[in-house]
Structure 1
């Protein structure tokens, strides 16, 4: 009998082989027989540990003896109840007097009466749908997207001890992973080729699922549905700075120009020219907000029809932050109405607090309700989903 010995004796190192070798059985090739030593699947799980106080050990042994005795004296009737058939694709997790036993199956498994609690685990691959989830992309768009997740139980002991509701846990994790991955992408990228992120989402879910004893085999994203398009990009500070320096160049080039102007004493002249351009561009004629807002609301009232009333079925109040005036759009009662003031009948389903410029962009379709709310230009009292129904009215307006 030949066995490997440890190279160094100590608590930290152990170089013993997982195989033992013996020359008792001759093989056709080398004349040596190999037999694998069994390794516990889950060494971190403590099975029935005998290192209890002596009285606990005696009580446990007495209870087990009584269970075996009850099984024997009630044969053959007890065999019908206590023997469980476990198929090749199944395993049974058994708790005996609250202690976890090694994994059982496949074959016939004995379940002792009164003291054993068991759970059968299916090892085959399963799939389920993840309900559509709203995801806000990095450029302010809003999409509705779901997925199909294929998974299997890789470690029945860990899965049974870690999860109470397996499907709910994976579904919640899949929704979280979709939001985390897709929220970093652009609206156009997700809408054009969202399926290319299947593997990224699968890897993200697997990082947590492996700790639960599960393995995610495949993730298939559904076709995304656009709910809110991203807002139109506005000219930022960097674009204004570029226009002040002739409309071109990168940041490093503009920095060198700034340093050159500062050394030559021309920075003040360039700054003055930029201020002049800015003053010219911001010299916008004063608008009669009350009159213009009234015209917008009247234009909205002229396109109300029965289909719109059926689809929206909500009443709105609009408060302008410029002058504090209230306006209402009632798409709920009667044939619908719009006007200045508070809602004449009932209470509003949503109150929009915004400036006149934001109202104009909202009703003209240049910006969506969710994008305005997300950017802070729109304050809302009520449900954001109800406010988004205003897009039905916007689609009929021609401003």
Structure 2
């Protein structure tokens, strides 16, 4: 009888899968479970909290701060909490840490105290954009005491344009940019004549050239989905499938909702595959919304996934750990 009857408290729900199919969330009260047929997950609906450990961050005006946060949350939908995220606690912590870092680095040091409540609300809204799809709602974010570890740099204050910042660093106020006449001149070396034809290296005939494996060529820059698919496909190998083990669903950013280009990269089945449309096996680990140019830069190791996510150019829906493996994927593709 102990396996048949489960007592569910007012603050709990029991998500039941019968023969692998989701039924519904049951409770509170006495719930009957069929042994060997039903699989259950018990979900706690009470308010919980976790701490975002203090991070050393650089503010927009060049100041350095150490700041953390306390995040209060609860499960709003037990079914989504079980079916849409594998590790709710860890994923929520990663989202909170990333959102906090993004907003702190976009503010001046003086704003952290003046607009502290507003920043907390913005961080809360940013976290909820992701966690509500998991059935988790963040009700409050509270910043810890802001510890200043570096005073703001007056040169960087208000310099949102990197070219203006560079000009102020190279030519501070009171100085003038050098004129062409003040620039040192370097005569073109003419003492060494160009090599004669007899000195130029011989060109090997095509028959003696070594064959080039397409997988050994670095990924080219791509501007369309078709170019990306054609360039990535030769790089997919069974070793990548073994090491990555994820299916990615990509949505091209900047297109109309009714005509969004969707493509996939399957690194879980067979020898790996990439193509346009939905993943053929019907499931994926993460949906990434980004431009083709950004995905090309990620795969060419010109940009890290964390930087792209922090800047807001990359949106992730699903398993964040799978999305973070893009860096490992790019490293293996460019070996």
Q: Which has the higher helix share?
A: 1
Give the shorter-chain TM-score range.
0.3 to 0.5
Q: Normalised by the size of structure 1, how large is the TM-score?
A: 0.39
RCO (CA 8 Å, sep 6+): is it higher in 1 or 2?
Answer: 2
Higher Rg of the two aligned structures:
1
- Give the structure-2-normalised TM-score: 0.46
